[in-house]
Amino acid sequence: MSEVQGTVEFSVELHKFHNVDLFQRGYYQIRVGLKIPSRIPHRLFVTIAGQTGDSSLCSACVHENNVYSRIFQILYRNEEIVLNESMNFRVHLLLDGERVEDALSEADFQLKLDLHFTDSEQQLRDVPVIPMISSRTLCLHFHPRRGLHHHVPVMFDYFHLSVVSVTVHASLVALHQPLISFARPGKGSWLGKGNLETGPDQSSMSLENLVFGAGYCKPTSSEGSFYVPSENCMLHAYKWHKDLCLLLLNAHRGLQMYYTLIMKEIPDLPQLKLEELSVEDTLSQLCTELQVFPSTVSVHTYNFQGH
């Protein structure tokens, strides 16, 4: 199986925390993490939007790929705290090159929100050990063409009755040849659970077969640049390239359509004019550009440029 590196970005914003009926006065914090199935080799990078300096109790921070909100104090019933904290989760995934769209649609992305509490100011000196008192998990039904766009109130359990409003956006942003190493489930692990291996990727060994199909035979050194793949191999390469481009173009269109919808629904937002992108015309242009490349190496290289 040959593999493609896909990149999906999740933008998450915590808006307001509303204390419905918390029984204890004290200091609270929300921690946010993105869960990706261990069966999919992946790398996760987490950043906080707009953060340039060191973190403190009064600002959000990243700890072990989780985002910790700022610490906030709750004193009264029905108290509302404005958080307005934005964070980005950038996920690189190693996907089956023959079923990229299906693999992304089947990925079980989950957003975990934990509520932590302490009534001790002394415990604030060691924020990671502040105990968790409630947790909620959102299942994110991501589709690579449509993306994901939701605004939801997340309510914690009855004994810590409170609500945080959350906005989640997600979009496919890149598809290309694997450029980074990925941890993989250990071969001897029970039911795929166990130590992760970070050995050399095997995807590069059959990359040409992914592009040109199973019937492709790698030329010998004596054939050099005079080797010409069969017509079937070239047709396979053109179709595979077209499918990847179409998926990325549809992802772009899905994001653009949602942005346009939001501009109409909320006219008070800054009205930015986006450049029109015709999926059909752009796809036709990309396919035409590929077919003018004369050699196998050029076609193989072009398939992984600019996508």
Band (pLDDT 50/70/90 cuts) for residue 290 is confident
pLDDT surpasses 50 at 231:
yes
Q: Which two tokens mark 250?
A: 């549809």
End-to-end Cα spacing for the chain: 21
| pTM for this model (two decimals) | 0.82
pLDDT for the residue numbered 43? 94
The DSSP 8-state label assigned to residue 54 in this structure reads -
In tens, the pLDDT along 67-98 reads 999 999 998 888 999 999 999 999 999 998 88
Strands 132-140 and 109-118: antiparallel
Burial 211-226 (b: 16+ CB within 10 A, else e): bbbeebeebeeeeeee
The DSSP 8-state label assigned to residue 273 in this structure reads P
CB atoms within 10 A of CB 99: 12
For the ranges 17-26, 44-53, 91-100, 297-306, the lowest mean pLDDT is seen at: 297-306
Mean pLDDT: which of 94-98, 128-132, 154-158, 231-235 is highest?
A: 128-132
**250 or 49: which leads in pLDDT:** 250
Nearest-angstrom CA–CA distance, 245 and 242? 5
Band (pLDDT 50/70/90 cuts) for residue 190 is very low
Q: For the purposes of burial, counting CB atoms within 10 Å of the CB of 307, is it exposed (0-12), middle (13-18) or buried (19 or more)?
A: middle
Average pLDDT over residues 236-254: 89
SS3 content of the chain, % helix, strand, coil (to 5): 25, 35, 35
**147 or 294: which leads in pLDDT:** 147
Q: Contact at 8 Å (CB) between 57 and 70? A: yes
pLDDT for the residue numbered 205? 41
Residue 27, strand partner residues: 73, 118
CATH topology of domain 3-176: Immunoglobulin-like (2.60.40)
The helix (run of H) or strand (run of E) holding residue 27 is: strand 26-35
Band (pLDDT 50/70/90 cuts) for residue 165 is very high
Cα dihedral value 97, 248, 12, 108, nearest 10: -30
**218 or 300: which leads in pLDDT:** 218
**65 Ramachandran zone, left/alpha/beta (phi>0; psi -120 to 50):** left
Domain positions in the chain? 3-176, 202-302
**227 or 178: which leads in pLDDT:** 178
Q: Contact at 8 Å (CB) between 245 and 101? A: no
pLDDT for the residue numbered 219? 60
Q: Contact at 8 Å (CB) between 9 and 92? A: no
pLDDT surpasses 70 at 245:
yes
Q: Which two tokens mark 303?
A: 């398939």
Mean pLDDT value across the chain = 82
In tens, the pLDDT along 17-33 reads 998 876 788 999 999 99
CA nearest to 29, candidates 53, 6, 61: 61
pLDDT surpasses 60 at 279:
yes
**DSSP alpha helix (H) spans, the chain:** 100-106, 207-212, 231-265, 279-291, 296-302
